[in-house]
Structures are given as C-alpha cells and as structure tokens.
Amino acid sequence: MKIIVLGASGQLGSCIKKVSAERNTHDIVFASQENGNILNEELLSRLFEREKPSFVINCAAYTAVDKAEDEQELCRRINRDGVLFLAKACKQHHASLIHISTDFVFKGNIAYPLKETDPTSPENIYGITKLEGEAVLAETLPEHFIVRTSWLYSEFGNNFVKTMLRLGKDRSELGVIADQIGSPTYAIDLAGAILDIIESESKSYGIYHYSNEGVASWFDFAKAVFDISNMSMHLNPLKTSEYVTKAVRPPYSVMDKTKVKSTFGIQILYWRDSLARCMEQLTVTA
C-alpha cells in the first residue's frame, strides 16, 4: 500500500517519518510543499497520478490559533478548501484519507470526556475552519478517517514543551493558565496510531479521538516539564481571564478514546509517561 504524507515537514509529519523508519514501513512518500501543496489542485493531481497512493495522511493545516483571528480567509482556505481539494483527489484516484483535526471543534463547557458523537460548537476561527474541513471531507469522500487530537508536542517543531524549556533558561518564575483542562499528546504516539489504523486495513471509516491518557491543565503540563527536566521554576497558576488571547480556548476538551482503542486495538500511554520519553529525546538531541 503506497502512502503519501502531506504537511510532511511539520511536527506530526516529522514524527510519522521517524516512526515509519523505525517500523521499516515501505512505500511511504513524504511530499514537499512544492509538489504536495493542498491548495494547488493541479499539483495534487500530478502527485497522485505519479504515486498512485492507497492512503493519504493529511498533516497540512493552518494551526496558528490566535493569528487565525486576523487571517480568517487564509485559515479557511487551508483548513477547509485545501481539505476539499484533497478529498476530491483521493476520490478520483481511489485513495483513503486520514485527516487530522482538533479538540477545538468543541465549545468545552461540559466537564466529561467528549465522544465523537457529542455536539460540536467551536468558538474560534481555527476550530470553526477545522470543523468545516471535517464537513467537506465527509460530504466528498466516504473512505476517510478523521482523527481529532489535542495539545500536540514532540521533539520536532515549535510546541509548548519546547517553549517551557526555553523560558526556563531565562526565567525563574512563570505564570501558566490553570483553568483550561485537556490531554497532552505526544506526536510520536499519534504517528504510531495513524500507522496502526492503516496497517489494520479496517474499513471502519469516520471520526476518532486520540490523545494520551489522563487529564491536565496547562499549569500541570508545565509543572511536569520542569519536574522531569529538573529545572528550578516557580509557577503561578493563572485564570484564563488573567491571560487574554485573541482566540477563545475551550475550558474543558478532554476526549473519550474508547472508539479508537476498541476499533483498532490501540493501547494509549499516560501523558506524563510519554512526556518523559519526549524529554529523553530532547536531551539526546540537545
């Protein structure tokens, strides 16, 4: 089965590259921006005709949550229109699509683990456009897997863990939001789950939730980063109202992973254990 990965240079794409190499996954193509731009239908058509994929993994997205409030048109083009172009290409070339979405499709005002069937009501442009992307994909291509994830981090790219480590070198005190609750997700674990879905050869298409097990606030997440790295840092818990951002975040976006575990037999690790693994990798590569 030939696999194409779009958005290959980003955080998740880099993790898929690493995990696929460790698994010795054959016939996987990591498309560059030049030949795999999801906003260019002609480029996509040529890529698909050349590679003839059975599966496509879409990691390409506009993810600058606050900036999206000022760049709504661009955000929508990438997160909605690009997904539509990709879905059409997959349909034409008989490929299945694994598309990455977000917990930000939820309002976050209900404090129980959110299932795939729970009502969506995003409150920022990023979440709205990601939900629009889900909708156009479902309308266009039946052979799809939508994987919603949350609080992604890894040894690649820019993310919360790296930001905390960088700030920890320059400061002795930080304020971190303590009233937004979710589940950190190690992108290496997500990459493995995506490949597990492909390798299962399952036709159980639809929406799935994936994050690491357990729950945390951003304060808890930061505390774990400093504890594991043995860095001295005084953390002050902040309320969301004390740290105003352009985009509204869901206060509670913990997702129920029962469906992905039962359908594909995937075992999910506890978030702090996975964080420790990531910190080891960051130490090795430092």
Three-state SS at 70? coil
Q: Where are the beta strands (DSSP E) in the chain?
A: 3-6, 28-30, 55-58, 96-102, 144-149, 152-153, 173-177, 181-182, 185-186, 206-209, 216-217, 234-238
Instruction: Determine which one of 126, 208, 210, 252 is catalytic.
Output: 126
Residue 156's contacts (CB-CB under 8 Å, 6 or more residues apart) are 11, 14, 15, 187
Q: Is-catalytic flag, 126?
A: yes
Query: Which among 46, 47, 42 is positioned nearest to 6, based on CA atoms?
Result: 47
Query: Which among 93, 72, 97, 82 is positioned nearest to 36, based on CA atoms?
Result: 82
Query: Which among 96, 63, 77, 98 is positioned nearest to 193, based on CA atoms?
Result: 98
Active-site residue list: 126
